[in-house]
């Protein structure tokens, strides 16, 4: 397939793997930020093509995984209200809250629908003026522009029965939190290419300088990932700590400025709780005051939901790169995709799910 | 008769019904007329036309074993690119018989109709079922209709039960699978699931995928006629290739390795899967199956399969490597290996 096969070419993969092997002389620990990158690495077995000195840690960039359990509970509670149509991206439906997940709510009679774009939810609201249509706006900077566009559309076209349950998070504060931890082992970052396509690369310069750590903007195909890893270990070997772009076909230094403007018009930065990690200041987005009429948490009173995580789940450590999924005592035993203890086992981008799906028996084999 | 002339008259003149009503399931004349006009006339065959409570069928003299299977079909939309609930209901059951090594002969068809369903839809379904039955060499010999109130069904549900005859003495099933066997996949993967998804989610314009729905009994009969030592066959319906392989590996207690480079997926299916975050290995097919047999016979089998249109893309795509806990792995294009597992639920489109 054009535009994809060339980034999965076995010969090019082999060459990059050799280049990494001949560059690395010392042990290095890198973290890929995005869950999509984690899945590609594990699915294609890219980590097995690296020298044994290179360790990949898996980062917090799975929007499904970091959405706090209270938010899921609120989503389930809103979906169960009379006359509500609750719209969500598909992979949020299976994430367990304390009162079940959205798929169970649907089975019990809630009108929960999978949409592919937040503007589909606005259209559903226009088609169902007597119903309340709520969209579950989760994600990183990548999904924020489309969600902002949905709010602006609802505002301009006067769709009073549309609202959003917002749980947006931002990448740079999470990177800072990881680097500030005393147990941090990360020596280089593969930044999430899709996030940078929107936001550009400038916000990573202060992180690279302050923490003296290379940040390489990296894509999602095997060639992209190996190229990112190569540039990152090269910086480390040469003692540099810069922001570099290994995903130039998608990422410009300034990013997508109109998209950034759209996000800034609709959202403002707020403190957010990250599932498994805790509260991080300035780490998320909420609707600006002008658009509060579209805030589902303002519109629907679901009370204060206080949720307790399963004490056995260590997804917080996994999300910070402090625990490799198979090293969790519950992995594959008490915690499986059928009976997940935490979101990292549920989401299609969660690190635990990736290891379960592609690597479950690796340990016994070795 | 002009409409105004009807006013005040409590008995409307006879007009054919255009939609299914509760009375069509009531056992009276309305039901009889529906069955005659829609189903019996489309499927006319001697066993059906005796109009008994059951079809009386004679087995071929040489046959002392039969195979029987049943499946229910619910699909939305009813008609999609490359197929319909009608073709699924015939081919799905025919294919299940073929996977047991049986020659499909007879089908029953039970319908659960939702009040309000267009009768013209039923005509279309009945006609398409007859076309598919003729193509697969089976007769629909008995049937049933029930009607449920509007809102209690999804237009049309169909159940078909199939009976086929075994013309050979071999046992075909997972218990026969052994190390050294080859796995042949009969063609490209994932078209049916993606065609349905595209029709359901309005991706039709973006995605030009035609379902692979087709009967596969003919190539299977040829494999058997050639005297090949077939150990197991399985059609790759819900859950796709991955689920079928894992089921067999677990039932047989063997490890199976598939080779990614040997598996075929069309560009349109791959592109749609990439877009939605799906893995084509898990996407449903309705005209694909796998054959497991000794590696020494794999080329002959592949040659026979390739001579049939429905399996012309057959390729030897895997090996049964050893006895052991039932596991399936995929050898990727970069020489790395990963697990192939069943999904815990349905595949859900990803966020970004």
B70-92 pLDDT, tens per residue?
Answer: 999 999 999 999 999 999 999 99
CB-nearest partner of A10 from B267, B333, B338: B333
Domain count, chain B: 2
- Answer whether residue B3 is part of any domain: no
**Predicted TM-score of the model (pTM):** 0.86
Can you give the pLDDT at residue B351?
Answer: 65
Same domain for B73 and B180, yes or no, is no
- With a cut of 80, say whether residue B141 has pLDDT above it: yes
Same domain for B73 and B189, yes or no, is no
Same domain for B156 and B201, yes or no, is no
Which residues in chain B touch residue A332, judged by CB atoms under 8 angstroms apart? Answer: none
How far A90 CA sits from the closest chain B CA (Å)? Answer: 5
The residue range of the domain holding B183 is 174-340
Same domain for B187 and B151, yes or no, is no
- Answer whether residue B233 is part of any domain: yes
3-state SS assignment for residue B135: helix
pLDDT per residue rounded down to tens, chain A (366 residues): 666 788 899 999 999 999 999 999 999 999 999 999 999 999 999 999 999 999 999 999 988 889 988 999 999 999 999 999 999 998 899 888 888 899 999 999 999 999 989 999 999 999 999 999 999 999 999 999 999 999 999 999 999 999 999 999 999 999 999 999 999 999 999 999 999 999 999 999 999 999 999 999 999 999 999 999 999 999 999 999 999 999 999 999 999 999 999 999 999 999 999 987 889 999 999 999 999 999 999 999 887 766 666 678 888 899 889 999 999 999 999 999 888 888 898 877 899 999 998 888 765 543
Please answer yes or no on whether B350 and A48 come within 8 Å at the CB atom.
Answer: no
Residue that terminates a domain, selected from B114, B136, B165: B165
Mean pLDDT computed over B156-162: 98
Output the furthest CA–CA distance in chain B (Å, rounded): 81
Q: How confident is the model at residue B277 (pLDDT cuts 50, 70, 90)?
A: confident
Same domain for B223 and B267, yes or no, is yes
CA dihedral A115, A121, A124, A130 (to 10 degrees): 130
Cα distances (Å, whole numbers) of residue B45 to A352, B52, B68, B129: 57, 13, 20, 13
Q: Are strands A28-34 and A188-192 parallel, antiparallel or unpaired?
A: parallel
How far A278 CA sits from the closest chain B CA (Å)? Answer: 22
Can you give the pLDDT at residue A363?
Answer: 52
Residue that terminates a domain, selected from B165, B182, B217: B165
Q: Are A193 and A36 in contact (CB under 8 A)?
A: no
Output the furthest CA–CA distance in chain A (Å, rounded): 66
Can you give the pLDDT at residue A366?
Answer: 38
Of the candidates B67, B77, B106, which has an alpha carbon nearest to the alpha carbon of residue B90? B106
- Answer whether residue B15 is part of any domain: no
- Answer whether residue B4 is part of any domain: no
Can you give the pLDDT at residue B205?
Answer: 60
Locate all alpha helices (DSSP H) within A181-244, ordered by sequence: 193-199, 205-211, 222-238
Q: Searching chain A, which residue's CA lies closest to the CA of residue B203?
A: A116
Same domain for B124 and B240, yes or no, is no
- With a cut of 60, say whether residue B1 has pLDDT above it: no
- Chain A contact probe: residue of B260, B340, B348 with most A CBs at under 10 A: B348
Please answer yes or no on whether B336 and A49 come within 8 Å at the CB atom.
Answer: yes
Of the candidates A225, A223, A271, A201, which has an alpha carbon nearest to the alpha carbon of residue A31? A225
Question: CATH number of the domain that B74 lies in?
Answer: 3.30.1330.10
Same domain for B103 and B150, yes or no, is yes
Sign, CA dihedral A264-A267-A272-A275, equals negative
Residue that terminates a domain, selected from B132, B147, B165: B165
Structure tokens, A360: 């479950």
d(CA A174, CA A189): 12
Which residues in chain B touch residue A140, judged by CB atoms under 8 angstroms apart? Answer: 352
Spatial CB neighbours of A324, under 8 Å, sequence gap ≥ 6: A57, A58, A318, A355
Mean pLDDT computed over B315-344: 93
Can you give the pLDDT at residue A260?
Answer: 97
- Answer whether residue B13 is part of any domain: no
- With a cut of 60, say whether residue B11 has pLDDT above it: no
Selected residue with higher pLDDT from B200 and A295: A295
Percent of chain B with pLDDT over 70: 93
**B84 phi-psi bin (left φ>0, alpha ψ -120 to 50, beta other):** beta
Residue count (chain B): 352
Please answer yes or no on whether A44 and B341 come within 8 Å at the CB atom.
Answer: no
Q: Are B282 and B243 in contact (CB under 8 A)?
A: yes
Structure tokens, B336: 């790395």
Can you give the pLDDT at residue B147?
Answer: 96
Same domain for B317 and B202, yes or no, is yes
Same domain for B159 and B198, yes or no, is no
d(CA A97, CA A72): 5
Same domain for B149 and B253, yes or no, is no
Q: Are strands A243-245 and A111-114 parallel, antiparallel or unpaired?
A: unpaired
Which residues in chain B touch residue A360, judged by CB atoms under 8 angstroms apart? Answer: 339, 341
Q: Searching chain B, which residue's CA lies closest to the CA of residue A364?
A: B325
Mean pLDDT computed over B151-168: 95
Same domain for B156 and B189, yes or no, is no
Selected residue with higher pLDDT from B205 and A230: A230
- Answer whether residue B310 is part of any domain: yes
Q: Name the one residue in this structure whose structure tokens are 């084509």.
A: B280
Same domain for B246 and B128, yes or no, is no
Can you give the pLDDT at residue B207?
Answer: 67
Tell me the sheet residues that pair with A64: none
Q: How confident is the model at residue B127 (pLDDT cuts 50, 70, 90)?
A: very high
Which residues in chain A touch residue B350, judged by CB atoms under 8 angstroms apart? Answer: 36, 89-91, 348-349
Q: Searching chain B, which residue's CA lies closest to the CA of residue A46?
A: B336
Please answer yes or no on whether B270 and A4 come within 8 Å at the CB atom.
Answer: yes
- Answer whether residue B102 is part of any domain: yes
Of the candidates B345, B206, B352, B201, which has an alpha carbon nearest to the alpha carbon of residue B269? B206
Please answer yes or no on whether B336 and A44 come within 8 Å at the CB atom.
Answer: yes
Question: CATH number of the domain that B268 lies in?
Answer: 3.90.650.10
- Answer whether residue B142 is part of any domain: yes
Of the candidates B179, B192, B214, which has an alpha carbon nearest to the alpha carbon of residue B320? B179
How far B340 CA sits from the closest chain A CA (Å)? Answer: 7
Structure tokens, A94: 């299976």
Domains and CATH numbers, chain A: 1-299+308-359 (3.40.50.11740)
């Amino acid at each position: 397939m054009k535009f994809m096969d060339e980034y999965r070419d076995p010969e090019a993969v082999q060459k990059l793997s050799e280049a990494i092997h001949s560059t690395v002389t010392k042990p290095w620990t890198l973290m890929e930020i995005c869950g999509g990158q984690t899945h590609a690495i594990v699915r294609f077995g890219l980590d097995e093509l690296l020298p044994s000195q290179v360790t990949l840690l898996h980062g917090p960039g799975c929007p499904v995984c970091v959405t706090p359990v209270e938010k899921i509970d609120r989503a389930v509670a809103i979906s169960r209200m009379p006359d509500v149509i609750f719209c969500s991206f598909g992979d949020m439906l299976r994430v367990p809250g304390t009162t079940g997940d959205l798929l169970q709510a649907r089975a019990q009679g809630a009108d929960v629908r999978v949409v592919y774009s937040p503007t589909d939810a606005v259209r559903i609201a226009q088609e169902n003026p007597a119903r309340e249509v709520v969209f579950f706006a989760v994600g990183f900077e990548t999904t924020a522009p489309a969600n902002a566009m949905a709010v602006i559309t609802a505002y301009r076209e006067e769709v009073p029965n549309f609202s959003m349950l917002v749980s947006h998070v931002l990448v740079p504060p999470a990177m800072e939190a990881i680097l500030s931890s005393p147990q941090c082992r990360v020596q280089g970052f593969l930044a999430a290419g899709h996030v940078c396509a929107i936001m550009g690369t400038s916000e990573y310069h202060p992180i690279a300088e302050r923490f003296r750590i290379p940040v390489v903007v990296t894509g999602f195909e095997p060639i992209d990932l190996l190229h990112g890893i190569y540039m990152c270990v090269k910086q480390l070997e040469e003692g540099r700590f810069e922001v570099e772009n290994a995903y130039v076909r998608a990422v410009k230094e300034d990013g997508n400025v109109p998209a950034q403007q759209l996000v800034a018009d609709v959202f403002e930065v707020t403190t957010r709780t990250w599932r498994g990690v805790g509260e991080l200041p300035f780490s998320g987005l909420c609707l600006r005051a002008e658009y509060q009429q579209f805030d589902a948490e303002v519109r629907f009173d679901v009370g204060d939901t206080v949720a307790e995580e399963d004490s056995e789940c260590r997804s917080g450590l996994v999300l910070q790169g402090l625990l490799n999924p198979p090293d969790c005592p519950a992995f594959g035993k008490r915690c499986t995709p059928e009976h997940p203890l935490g979101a990292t086992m549920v989401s299609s981008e969660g690190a635990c799910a990736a290891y379960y799906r592609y690597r479950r028996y690796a340990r016994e084999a070795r | 008769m002009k409409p105004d002339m009807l006013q005040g008259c409590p008995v409307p003149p006879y007009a054919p019904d255009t939609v299914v009503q509760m009375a069509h399931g009531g056992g009276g004349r309305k039901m009889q007329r529906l069955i005659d006009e829609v189903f019996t006339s489309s499927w006319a065959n001697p066993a059906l036309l005796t109009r008994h409570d059951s079809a009386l069928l004679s087995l071929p003299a040489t046959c002392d074993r039969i195979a029987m299977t049943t499946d229910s079909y619910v699909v939305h939309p009813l008609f999609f690119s490359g197929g319909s609930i009608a073709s699924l209901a015939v081919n799905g059951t025919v294919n299940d018989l073929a996977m047991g090594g049986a020659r499909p002969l007879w089908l029953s068809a039970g319908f659960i109709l939702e009040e309000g369903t267009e009768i013209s839809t039923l005509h279309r379904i009945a006609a398409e079922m007859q076309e598919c039955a003729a193509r697969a060499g089976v007769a629909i010999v008995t049937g049933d209709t029930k009607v449920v109130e509007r809102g209690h069904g999804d237009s049309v549900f169909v159940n078909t039960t199939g009976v086929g005859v075994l013309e050979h003495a071999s046992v075909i099933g997972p218990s026969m699978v052994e190390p050294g066997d080859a796995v042949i996949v009969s063609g490209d993967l994932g078209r049916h699931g993606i065609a349905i998804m595209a029709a359901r989610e309005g991706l039709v314009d973006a995605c030009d995928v035609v379902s692979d729905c087709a009967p596969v009994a003919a190539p299977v009969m040829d494999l058997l006629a050639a005297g090949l030592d077939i150990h197991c066959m399985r059609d790759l319906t819900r859950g796709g290739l991955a689920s079928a392989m894992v089921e067999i590996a677990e039932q047989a207690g063997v490890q199976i390795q598939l080779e990614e480079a040997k598996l075929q997926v069309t560009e349109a299916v791959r592109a749609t899967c990439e877009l939605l975050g799906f893995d084509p290995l898990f996407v449903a097919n309705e005209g694909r199956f796998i054959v497991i047999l000794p590696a020494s016979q794999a080329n002959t089998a592949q040659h026979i399969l390739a001579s049939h249109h429905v399996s012309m893309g057959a390729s030897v795509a895997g090996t049964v490597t050893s006895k052991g806990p039932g596991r399936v792995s995929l050898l990727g294009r970069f020489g790395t290996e990963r697990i192939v597992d069943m999904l815990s639920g349905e595949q859900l489109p990803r966020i970004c």
